[in-house]
Amino acid sequence: MSGINEATHVNAIGLLAMALLNAESQAMDEPALKRQLEIYLSLLQEAPYSKDVTRVDLDAAQIIAYGEDFGLLKRRGNGQVTTLFIEDSDAILMTYFRNNIVHLFVLPSFIACCFLGNESLTKKQAVHWFKLVYPFLKSELSMYWNNRQLTSAANKVIECMMSKSLMQESNGLLTVDSHQQQLMKELSGGVLLSMERFYLTVLILKRKGEGALSRFELEKVCGTTAEKLSELNGFNSPEFFDKTSFKGFIEMLYTQGVIWANDKGKLTYGAVLESIIDDAGLVLSQQVRKNVDQIVD
């Protein structure tokens, strides 16, 4: 599967889905949508996931026009302020298009995610945090990078994001200008749900304690808790609480030696889990951490 993902073709609907499904109410004003699409196109050109990735030969304005012609992108407004949006009835179809390309933008989305809870960080911190969660993301999205490629890939993405003024570096620290915070928040959406699942799973395991849950029981608790969290956050995303996603992540924790079963089939863990919880929590915003902590308690 990772080989197939390596040679992905990016079409106009997929890019629109990436932008709008990450936006509040699945809607953006036209300049903001155009800017978001331009960022995605730049990342594909300057810091591609793979040399075999291809994309539609359209610019941002042409992609918007294509989406309207296709009938999936709707427009409302009074002439001065125009909002482009996806109707709820089209969201499932758009989710399919987004899921076909979401792995291409995991790294820039993750870097944007880092700034939800941090005003500044070093490149080294961003790379360290990404390496921490990459085994989970690799398993969930069938990504092909090996660990040796991560630093180089991260540096290319960071340089591209800096060249587009999404962030800047001063005295070794990366920061985001206040005018770019909304754009970075929307960019983070590509990986945010995965990060919330990641944090939710390890936190449940820690709160329940060693020897309390089997793998099957942990999957079930994660799915039920994620559904409650989805309701609390006010988003309708059944894939967020899909037990299959949690099953894959728990399997990864098992194969990585982070967790293991005792002689009664119940899960136990070591100090590595504590480190994962601390570092994963740093990537998420304070509000997200608060919501997860509240639900798990």
| pLDDT tens by residue, 6-29 | 778 999 999 999 999 888 788 999
Q: Which residues contact 250 (CB under 8 A, 6 or more apart)?
A: 201, 215, 218, 219, 222, 259
Of residues 1 and 165, the one with the higher pLDDT is: 165
CATH topology of domain 191-294: Arc Repressor Mutant, subunit A (1.10.10)
Thinking of the domain 106-189, which architecture would CATH place it in?
A: Orthogonal Bundle (1.10)
Q: What is the pLDDT of residues 203-222, one digit of tens each?
A: 888 888 999 999 999 998 88
Domain boundaries, the chain: 9-103, 106-189, 191-294
- Identity (one letter) of the amino acid at 292? V
Give the global pTM. Answer: 0.87
What percent of the chain has pLDDT above 90?
47
Predicted confidence band at 58 (pLDDT cuts at 50, 70, 90)?
Answer: very high
User: If 0-12 CB within 10 Å is exposed, 13-18 middle and 19+ buried, where does residue 27 land?
Assistant: middle
pLDDT of residue 159: 95
Q: Are 174 and 225 in contact (CB under 8 A)?
A: no
- Rounded CA-CA distance 191/107 in Å is 8
Q: What is the pLDDT of residues 264-273, one digit of tens each?
A: 999 999 888 8
Pull the structure tokens for residue 208: 């329940």
CATH of 9-103 among 3.90.1300.10, 1.10.1790.20, 1.10.10.10, 3.40.50.1970: 1.10.10.10
Q: Which residues contact 114 (CB under 8 A, 6 or more apart)?
A: 121, 125, 126, 129, 283
Q: What is the pLDDT of residues 150-199, one digit of tens each?
A: 999 999 999 999 999 999 999 999 999 889 999 999 999 888 888 888 88
Pick the closest to residue 259 from 246, 268, 251, 248 (CA basis).
268
Read off the pLDDT of each residue in 257-267 and give the average, rounded to a whole number.
93
Quick check: do 106-189 and 191-294 share a fold? Answer: no
pLDDT over 80 (residue 102): yes
pLDDT over 60 (residue 48): yes
Chain mean pLDDT for the chain: 86
pLDDT of residue 68: 95
- Identity (one letter) of the amino acid at 168? Q
**What is the DSSP code string of 247-297?**
HHHHHHHHHTTSEEE-TTS-EEE-HHHHHHHHHHHHHS-HHHHHHHHHHH-
Q: What's the sign of the alpha-carbon dihedral 101, 37, 281, 48?
A: positive
pLDDT of residue 165: 93
Q: What is the pLDDT of residues 65-96, one digit of tens each?
A: 999 999 999 998 776 778 999 988 888 889 88
Q: Are 241 and 223 in contact (CB under 8 A)?
A: yes
